Structures are given as structure tokens and as C-alpha cells.
Amino acid sequence: MTALQVQQAVSADVDDIAALWTQASDWLASIGTSQWQYPVRTHAIRAEVAAGEVWIVREGGRLLASVTLEADDDSGLWAPSEGPALYVHRLVVARDGRPNDLGAAMLDWAARRARRQCRPWLRLDAWTTNSDLHKYYVDRGFRHLRTDETVQSGALFERSSAVELHRGPALI
């Protein structure tokens, strides 16, 4: 398989990203989780795209994945004393027609970005009640640090940005 290219999202991608989120939300509802069971916040996607924080993978014009990467913690869940990191938000992968383990490949790609920015950690907050998602991240090299039960997405995970699992398609 040819390597897939990760591109910075542009305003023309917002509707496709919103559709990908809706697809993920529908799938999550079908498996009985409360995660993302609210209308897609297109205004937030638009703002993150404008800020240069959203990255996408397309193949043949079809959106396969999207991830938001932030240099600073905007959630208030991480203490400054925990050191610099690159923060992963809203990793969404198409449910069908995508390469196996594209999500893991996106996390490896994010780890490379973190290293280039001299950030030793890749961090994320996951939906507090989604234990399958917690297992997904642990299986991809993250460690669970703690859970803040006062917020919906309060399960905190991190892995060293030096870690790459080399699963899924090659991403450039």
C-alpha cells in the first residue's frame, strides 16, 4: 500500500469532518455508549481548522480520518508541572473502507510531530465511561494516569512521544 498523506485541514474540509463525526456518533450510539451524543459542533470544527490544529487523511478524495492536535492544554485537566506535551483531541476514523489500524498510525504520526516540537509526551483525555476506548489507548502504548469524574471526557492518558507502534498504514 502506498503511504497516505496527512494534510492540514482547510475550511473546505469542515463539512466532511462534521460528517465523519456524525458517522462516529451514530456508531457509538449503536454500541450503547453515551460518547458524542450531541449535535456536531461545526462552529468548533471551523475554529480549530482556522487555528491550524486539525489534520486529515484522505484517499481518493474520501475523508478517512481527522485529528485535532493542540500545543497547550485547553481543558484544565493537566497541570503545568506535568511538563510539555502535544494534546490529541477528537481522533475520528471512518467506520468503513479505511486501512486497518489507521487510528494507531495517526497516533504514531502525532508522536513524530510532538518530537519535532520537543514535546516529550503525547496526551489525551478520553470519554470517562467508555472503557473500550480506554483499552484501545492502553493497547496503543498509553498509560492511564487518572480520571476526573466531574467531566465527560476526564480519563487522562499519556505516552512518550518516543513511542511508535508501527501499526496500520504508513503516513507521511
3-state SS of the chain: helix, strand, coil percent to 5? 35, 25, 40
Radius of gyration of the chain (CA): 15
Give the burial class of 96: count Cβ atoms within 10 A of its Cβ; 0-12 exposed, 13-18 middle, 19 or more buried: exposed
Domain for residue 171, yes or no?
no
Domain for residue 84, yes or no?
yes
Phi, psi of 126 (to 5 degrees): -115, 155
Domain for residue 75, yes or no?
yes
Domain for residue 166, yes or no?
no
Number of domains in the chain: 1
Domain for residue 144, yes or no?
yes
Domain for residue 165, yes or no?
no
Domain hosting 81: range is 6-160
pLDDT for residue 3:
85
Domain for residue 66, yes or no?
yes
For residue 67, give the nearest of 120, 34, 24 by alpha carbon.
Answer: 24
pLDDT for residue 35:
86
For residue 127, give the nearest of 36, 20, 31, 19 by alpha carbon.
Answer: 36
Encode the chain (172 residues) as per-residue pLDDT tens digits.
Answer: 578 999 999 999 999 999 999 999 999 999 998 888 889 999 999 999 999 999 999 998 999 999 999 999 988 999 999 999 999 999 999 988 788 999 999 999 999 999 999 999 999 999 999 999 999 999 999 999 999 999 999 999 999 999 999 999 999 9
pLDDT for residue 1:
56
Domain for residue 167, yes or no?
no
Per the DSSP assignment, residues forming a β-bridge with 56 are 7, 66
CATH of the domain at 139: 3.40.630.30
Predicted structure pTM score: 0.94
